[in-house]
Structure 1
Amino acid sequence: MERNNRHTRYRDDPRSRSVSPADRSSKHARVEGNRKGKEPVRSSDALEPGEIEVEKKIQHDIGDDFIPFEVGEDEDTVGQHERLDARQKGKEPEREWDKGKLAGHVEESRSRGTKRKHDDLSDDDSRRYRRTEWPISRSAPWVNDVDWDSCRNVAEMLHREVEAFVKYMSPTPIEDEVRSFTVSLVSRVIRSAFPDARISPFGSYETKLYLPDGDIDLVVDSESMAHSNKVHVLYHLANTIKRAGITSKFTVIAKAKVPIIKFVTNYGRLNVDLSINQGNGVTAGKVINGFLQNMYGCGSALRSLVLVVKAFLHQRGMNEVYTGGLGSYSIVCLAISFLQMHPKIRRGEIDAGKNLGALVMEFFELYGYHFNCEEVGISIRDGGAYFSKRQRGWYDSMKSNLLCLEDPIDPTNDISKGSYGIAKVRQTFAGAYEIMQATVFLRAGILDSRREGRDYPLRRHYDPGDLSILSGILGVTREVGCTF
């Protein structure tokens, strides 16, 4: 399989793909109970006196191209806000038949389509309307640690920004201590009911590749549980954990390939997944730790790639296998294979740890555009290789576009066969590459104008986020930002 041997490649005609924010609904549905004689049902197109007609807008299918994660206000809603402000200030008299109606429309439009943000609430008792700035759903706080002035070119800018992002998203000692305490607490409760139980963490918690709001994966090994009905044991374990006050609600997924218990801790609000007698997860964690420690010159690059891609997919709801996305194990194996098969890394021409920005772009380019999922599978065993899906017997004409990833601890297992939405994932990767490519050209122009003295600031203050490249595809939500 051919790959581009250049370290960084940009196209001559960059195009930035974007999808407009999802528009909010502008009508309030009538209840069907009105047909029982209380009130005649009117058509959804009919308007009552004083009711504002809102233009219907085209709804974009999220996921068709590039999935955004920001929501703004449409022009009609903004107009209603402005009229309400003028009415409250006494500049515009309120008509008799409009009393209370416009405020109701504004409040309804603010409550539909998106969750209430922290800035939407007012601290005073009157709870007056408070207009929020757009956009408020994301930010790039990691850029505060980037020294843009010392960057000589765009590649160095992106490299330093990736370093800052990884440092910002990596778990702090306090976060790790809280998770360790949670594991100890759950283990003590389980051993009180099953004295022979051995509780082991695995997955991203063991490899320290978890995001701030990532879950904790635990497996319970017990001989007494092995001789009992697994579903009954899961419910018994869940009720034991609930009675101990660790959680107030749990979910038992008994019909999955690997039955698990899912719950959220009362303290810390941490998501925990608990399985029984599944040793593969612990072994896989040891394998991943081996790659992180023993990949010569690529350990930091592997960690950076995994955290960037996990955050990218997590913010778009494409990081769970049961929803068709890529799980953490598959993401790690893709990143390992990418570094193993990179031609310049294999020939020793570049230092992966000093070219993180270029590697992130090339990762999105490879798996978004060039990788042939229909014919080629991926193996990370023995230094990494590609193999023919037909020769391996993994080719399925009905599902030929699915990704095939060989399990490094079981060559007969395809760890990505459950990712049925891989086509949408690849489309999103391609969109990320296009956006980053366009942003790189813009930042290069800014650097050139500064060197030649052709730039002139239009604002009195300096915002480090103006030169960010990653903020076009990544952001930190308010919930994640509050954990730091």
Structure 2
Amino acid sequence: MKDTADAPWLRTSELNIPDLRERLSTEIEAFDSYIKPTRREQKNRDRLLEIISLCISDMWPGAVIEPFGSYVTGLLLPGSDVDMNISVSQPKAALKTLSKRLRAERLFRYEEMMLIQAKVPVLTIEDWRLQTSIDITLNNESSSSQRTERWLQEYPPLRILFLILKHALSSLVLDALPTFQVMSAKTNGLASYSLICLLVFYFQQYKYLVNDTSSKTYYADLLLGFLTFYAKFDFENMCIVLKDGAKLIPKSQLDKSAENCSYLDKISIEDPDRPGINVARSSNRIDYIRGAFSYLETLLRRRINAIDPRNPESVLSAIIKVRPHHARDPRPSGRSYRIGIIEVPSEIVPFTPVMPTLSATSEISVTPSKSKNKKRKRPRGETQERERKSAKLTNESEEQ
């Protein structure tokens, strides 16, 4: 029997489960194994971190070098980069000094580095040989990685559902606004930490689903439940609070001095480690984000209703789009891996213009890059990798 090329995480013979929700759960578990970092991907990330760490230690012997983000939490997609923070008693120009040193020692080419001057300056380095990139910040400690690690221990399904959702949401291209990316804070979408918080709040609300690990439809129930929950969520009027038990607080009752938590046009998630701070303060495309959840739910339910249980067809491939290949072959590695496109019709999520508001993004100025502007016409898979660099600075600002 031939493999299903558009669902290479499972062989066709393993898709004969008649209960389609159970089949979806099986696929979700298989996708977890499929998407895990390969030895080459992990080796390349480790090597890039080592090269830069040695240079930093030589320049500033007392510097504290600390990786964070997905490299630490393990919430990695194949193209994920490395995040590093340097704690050192140096002026902000230290990142510029570091970039000059790295070029002087011929560790990287000029074209491989980009210094983004912003509220949180970021030195982005893309190693063409290792096919891996790293984002370096200075004296910018973040508690989000530690918090995420604790949540991963407390809520075991967090890892795989996050990866499924991030992958699926990254696929969406809205006909009404093609430049909008759901998983990009730069375009007023979601930062990764915001998605993690949404998942945790959902788990806190539906503990009985999280605890029902014996169910054969376990992951399917959680995924569909999450999408249904947020497809109808009142983001305009409610603030999500994760600390001291899950609860919702009307934005009208919040202190107006709270950093963007009370804004009606933004998703509000109070930082569990910094009360009053909104970790989703850049996410003001509420209709599009809610519509994205709704559309993914629609695609899954439509696929479940359309499949003849006797046929070995994939359910998960309705929202997970990858470069087709057979299950017996290894998946593309690193930057060779491409997330496919799912077009969202305008009638599903109609265009609704957003008025500019004073937010974290309004304090950020990115030095324009001529080469980056020219590459916006490239295929979406490649464009996302370039836009991710500048989007990263906004994500870092949110995760502080």
TM-score bracket for this pair, using the shorter chain length: 0.7 to 0.9
Q: Which has the higher contact order (CA 8 A, sep 6+)?
A: 2
Does residue 276 in structure 1 map to residue 132 in structure 2? no
Give the aligned partner of residue 159 of structure 1. 25
Give the aligned partner of residue 432 of structure 1. 296
Change beyond 3 A, Cα 1:375–1:157: same
* Residues 27-47 of structure 1, C-alpha deviations (whole Å, 9 max, x = no match): xxxxxxxxxxxxxxxxxxxxx
What one-letter code is carried by the residue in structure 2 that aligns with 1:379? Answer: V
Contact 1:345 1:352 (8 Å CA) reproduced: no
SS, match of residue 11 in structure 2: helix
What one-letter code is carried by the residue in structure 1 that aligns with 2:333? Answer: T
Change beyond 3 A, Cα 1:423–1:353: farther
Give the aligned partner of residue 311 of structure 1. 167
Take 1:473 and 1:367, find their aligned partners in 2: how far apart are those partners?
Answer: 17
Does residue 193 in structure 1 map to residue 59 in structure 2? yes
Take 1:207 and 1:352, find their aligned partners in 2: how far apart are those partners?
Answer: 27
Take 2:213 and 2:201, find their aligned partners in 1: how far apart are those partners?
Answer: 17
**Runs (5+) with no aligned partner, structure 1:** 1-137, 456-463
Does residue 367 in structure 1 map to residue 244 in structure 2? no
Contact 2:152 2:159 (8 Å CA) reproduced: yes
Give the aligned partner of residue 302 of structure 1. 158
SS, match of residue 183 in structure 2: coil
Q: Quote how far apart the aligned CAs of 1:405 are.
A: 0.9
Give the aligned partner of residue 97 of structure 2. 236
* Residues 102-151 of structure 1, C-alpha deviations (whole Å, 9 max, x = no match): xxxxxxxxxxxxxxxxxxxxxxxxxxxxxxxxxxxx933113287122x2
Contact 2:261 2:276 (8 Å CA) reproduced: no
Contact 1:159 1:354 (8 Å CA) reproduced: yes
Does residue 142 in structure 1 map to residue 9 in structure 2? yes
Q: Quote how far apart the aligned CAs of 1:335 are.
A: 1.0
Give the aligned partner of residue 365 of structure 2. none
Give the TM-score taking structure 2 as reference length: 0.72
SS, match of residue 161 in structure 1: helix
Does residue 181 in structure 1 map to residue 42 in structure 2? no
Contact 1:146 1:164 (8 Å CA) reproduced: no
Contact 1:190 1:241 (8 Å CA) reproduced: no
Does residue 390 in structure 1 map to residue 252 in structure 2? yes
Which residue among 319, 332, 339 is the counterpart of 1:473?
319
Change beyond 3 A, Cα 1:165–1:146: farther
Alignment of 1:78-477 (within 5 A): 139-144=6-11, 147-149=14-16, 151-223=17-89, 225=90, 228=91, 230=92, 232-248=93-109, 249=111, 250-254=113-117, 256-280=118-142, 283-293=143-153, 295=154, 298-299=155-156, 301-316=157-172, 317-342=181-206, 344-345=208-209, 355-368=218-231, 370-393=232-255, 399-443=263-307, 446-447=308-309, 450=310, 467-477=313-323
Alignment of 1:66-81 (within 5 A): none
Contact 2:194 2:280 (8 Å CA) reproduced: yes
Give the TM-score taking structure 1 as reference length: 0.60
Change beyond 3 A, Cα 1:146–1:197: farther
What one-letter code is carried by the residue in structure 2 that aligns with 1:332? Answer: I
The runs of at least 4 aligned residues of structure 1 exceeding 6 Å deviation read 395-398
Take 1:338 and 1:478, find their aligned partners in 2: how far apart are those partners?
Answer: 32
Change beyond 3 A, Cα 1:361–1:246: farther
Change beyond 3 A, Cα 1:399–1:385: closer
SS, match of residue 213 in structure 1: coil
* Residues 128-181 of structure 1, C-alpha deviations (whole Å, 9 max, x = no match): xxxxxxxxxx933113287122x2411101100111112111213442232122
Q: Quote how far apart the aligned CAs of 1:318 are.
A: 2.6
Take 1:422 and 1:262, find their aligned partners in 2: how far apart are those partners?
Answer: 29
Q: Quote how far apart the aligned CAs of 1:264 are.
A: 0.5
Q: Quote how far apart the aligned CAs of 1:313 are.
A: 2.3
Contact 1:217 1:272 (8 Å CA) reproduced: yes
Contact 1:145 1:164 (8 Å CA) reproduced: no
**Runs (5+) with no aligned partner, structure 2:** 173-180, 335-400
Change beyond 3 A, Cα 1:168–1:244: farther
Q: Quote how far apart the aligned CAs of 1:329 are.
A: 0.9
Take 1:398 and 1:377, find their aligned partners in 2: how far apart are those partners?
Answer: 8
Take 1:277 and 1:430, find their aligned partners in 2: how far apart are those partners?
Answer: 39
Count of residue pairs the alignment pairs up: 314
SS, match of residue 37 in structure 2: coil
Q: Quote how far apart the aligned CAs of 1:290 are.
A: 0.9
Point out the structure with max Rg over C-alpha.
1
Contact 1:246 1:265 (8 Å CA) reproduced: no
Change beyond 3 A, Cα 1:187–1:434: same
Q: Quote how far apart the aligned CAs of 1:215 are.
A: 1.5
Change beyond 3 A, Cα 1:349–1:162: closer
What one-letter code is carried by the residue in structure 2 that aligns with 1:344? Answer: Y
**Superposition CA RMSD, Å:** 2.7
* Residues 266-313 of structure 1, C-alpha deviations (whole Å, 9 max, x = no match): 322212111000112xx22111111111x2xx31x1111110111122
Q: Quote how far apart the aligned CAs of 1:349 are.
A: 5.6
What one-letter code is carried by the residue in structure 1 that aligns with 2:158? Answer: L
